[in-house]
Structure 1
């Protein structure tokens, strides 16, 4: 049975790099993948970018009110039709109907809980593995709704690790506005897009508590 995977970590833990590497691994073996991310992630527009300088276009963006399973079905059919319409159809060479081998989702924390439910249906009912990558908690240490639902539903959970400035494992994502730490505000503020330049720093629990004067929300 295909599974739903949630690969999570603090910011700068290499999630997008890992996603792009997974896509490359599938395609190197002649398999088809689909890449998607929530539209709310305006950084990079319709591209997935890694800090190593590797990027590529997504196949589709997911809006907050989208039915992800229906949207996936449209693009799955496009992959199947394109393979069948090739000069030498894949089915003629392999004897099997071409299909999507995997759906990869970047910034999965921005999905709604209902959209995460759709990811589980894609894996279990439609038989397509889903690899979702995202961060677990916001700058106030609260779980994003999409991440919370993924932690509840995913068959497999995998933590991607990074380190704090002190060398300990980073757990939290602290927000800076104009270079100063802030602990109040909206849950979503995409980095480097505001006039005050919103950025984030991955921190261990000790360093986070030191900067927040003990606050956890």
Structure 2
């Protein structure tokens, strides 16, 4: 039976590279995959998934207004595919999905069409709060997998995303702010105490 997977990690944990490697593995066996990504992330250009190691692939773009099942169905009709012709649907930046879109994926593509879907994305934002899409995936996914990386300041596992502006940590602002180098992957302790390492104040802003 097909399943919904949520593979999550911090920034710089090679989530996109994992997606692209998974796509390559399927395609090298002559199997078809559908790659989707959020329209909100345009770092690699529109409708494209790209990793920091240079791997890239074209993708179907998902806006917050889209019905993801309809996008899937339209693609299948356009190319004359049946459900058995698609080995897997791969979705990058899944934290930007709406809860309704996660339901469309779970109940429509996975359960009704019996096509597995693997979603890759962040679990929490720079304040440590769940994204709406990630929360829905944690609730509905059949399998969860953490893609691990290490903290910027120590060798502990990174679990938080630290946003910086001009090299200094920030803890307030809009949840969605697309970026790359201004985000650091850190453990919980160094997320809280980052000002000590970056500016040497007397105490943490969260003490």
How is 1:81-120 mapped onto 2 (pairs within 5 angstroms)? 99-120=85-106
2-structure distance, mates of 1:80, 1:2: 21
Instruction: Return the offset for 1:80.
Output: 2.9
How is 1:48-197 mapped onto 2 (pairs within 5 angstroms)? 48-58=49-59, 60-80=60-80, 99-121=85-107, 122-165=109-152, 166-191=154-179
Instruction: Return the offset for 1:14.
Output: 0.9
Supply the RMSD in Å over aligned alpha carbons.
Answer: 1.7
Structure 1: which 4+ aligned runs deviate by more than 6 Å?
Answer: none
Q: 1:210 matched to which residue of 2? A: 193
SS at match of 1:7: strand
Q: 2:198 matched to which residue of 1? A: none
Unpaired stretches in structure 2, ≥5 consecutive residues:
196-203
Which stretch has the larger CA shift, 21-30 or 198-207?
Answer: 198-207
2-structure distance, mates of 1:79, 1:186: 39
2-structure distance, mates of 1:146, 1:134: 9
Q: Deviations over 1:165-217 (max 9, x none)?
A: 2111000000011221111000010115xxxxx7100000111111262539x
Contact 1:31 1:100 in 2 (8 A): yes
Figure out how many residues of one structure are paired with residues of the other and give that number.
Answer: 196
Contact 1:176 1:200 in 2 (8 A): yes
2-structure distance, mates of 1:215, 1:29: 51
TM-score by length of 2: 0.90
1-structure distance, mates of 2:136, 2:113: 20
2-structure distance, mates of 1:114, 1:97: 22
Contact 2:83 2:114 in 1 (8 A): no
TM-score by length of 1: 0.86
Instruction: Return the offset for 1:97.
Output: 8.5
Taking a change above 3 Å as real, the CA distance of residues 98 and 154 of structure 1, as seen in their structure-2 partners, is closer
